[in-house]
Amino acid sequence: DAGVTQSPTHLIKTRGQQVTLRCSPISGHKSVSWYQQVLGQGPQFIFQYYEKEERGRGNFPDRFSARQFPNYSSELNVNALLLGDSALYLCASSLTGTALTYEQYFGPGTRLTVT
Amino acid sequence: DAKTTQPTSMDCAEGRAANLPCNHSTISGNEYVYWYRQIHSQGPQYIIHGLKNNETNEMASLIITEDRKSSTLILPHATLRDTAVYYCIVDGGGGGADGLTFGKGTHLIIQP
């Protein structure tokens, strides 16, 4: 079975532009979470979606938004890009979005560079 | 979520057991201890989790103290491919609506 897939692998954008990152969860998984990882730090939680609804949101500005589609894939959108948005964006899928989910499966990430 | 404290880095010889400590003195009764690792340029990988009993799977063993204030992840026969950043996380159940809270982790370097 395929694991979590993310596209694109790498992306270079200019300050002020908008970007859309995509994620396909493991087949059968209904929950998708997004994380941002800047160099030298652990991943930081951005959003969790379950059954197409936002279930949780981390401490990120409104420039960050996401959505989940009926096939459980997800998109992360970032508007008005800042240099500080340069990071590895990770998507994780899990069976459910509720407690006792235990394991999250991470994709390889999308490396975003803002110049 | 409770905070965790881990050493910044550790070395271990190939073939030996790697013991990674984690302090989580403020853990609450319903919070699990999770371990993930992140090999360079890859996404984090789930290793193991536990509540209060010791746990073992094909990757590692997790030893949790009786008071649950600390734990140790044991890789029984470390290989070069185990070189990674290891994250100890406490959470109520898989990261739910608040996501998993990653710290900076321990950079484990396996020496040949």
Summarize pLDDT for A43-53 with one digit per residue, the tens.
999 999 988 89
Q: Which of A45, A105, A108 sits opposite B100 (nearest CB)?
A: A45
Is residue A23 less than 8 Å (CB to CB) from chain B?
Answer: no
- Which residues have C-beta within 8 Å of that of residue A68, sequence separation ≥ 6? A32, A49, A50, A51, A52, A53, A74
Four-residue CA torsion sign, B103, B47, B40, B17: positive
Higher pLDDT, B31 or B56: B56
Chain B residues near residue A35 by CB distance under 8 angstroms:
99-100, 102
Mean pLDDT of A28-35: 92
Average pLDDT over residues A65-90: 97
Angle CA B3–B7–B12, to nearest 5: 140
> Which of B34, B42, B96 lies at the smallest CB-CB distance from A97?
B96
Position B24 pLDDT exceeds 60: yes
Contact by Cβ (8 Å): A104, B97: no
Q: What is the pLDDT of residues A86-107, one digit of tens each?
A: 999 999 998 865 555 568 899 9
Q: Please report residues of A whose CB lies closer than 8 A to that of B99.
A: 33, 35, 45-46, 48, 56, 58
pLDDT of residue A76: 98
Q: Are A76 and A34 in contact (CB under 8 A)?
A: yes
Do residues B65 and B71 lie in contact, with contact meaning Cβ atoms separated by under 8 Å? yes
User: DSSP secondary structure string, B4-55?
Assistant: -B--SEEEEETTSPEEEEEE-TT--TTPEEEEEEE-TTS--EEEEEESSS-E
Q: Does position B1 have pLDDT exceeding 90, yes or no?
A: no
Across the interface, whether the CB atoms of A99 and B92 are under 8 A apart is answered yes
Tell me which residue of A73, A52, A42 sits closest to B34, measured CA to CA: A42
- In chain B, residues with a C-beta closer than 8 Å to the C-beta of A101 are 93-96
Token pair listed for B109: 């370097």
**Percent over 70 (pLDDT), chain B:** 94
Taking the Cβ of residue A62 and every Cβ of chain B, the question of whether any pair is shorter than 8 Å is answered with: no
Query: How many contacts does A have with B, using Cβ atoms within 8 A?
Result: 79
Beta strands in chain A (DSSP E): 5-7, 10-13, 19-24, 31-37, 44-50, 53-57, 64-68, 74-78, 87-94, 105-106, 110-114
Most confident listed range (A25-29, A44-48, B24-28, B72-76): B72-76
- Residue A60 forms contact with B (CB below 8 Å): no
Of A42, A56, A107, the CB nearest to B105: A42
Q: How far apart are CA B105 and CA B84, in angstroms?
A: 10
Tokens of A31: 């929950």
- Which among B42, B92, B103 is the nearest to A42, CB-wise? B103
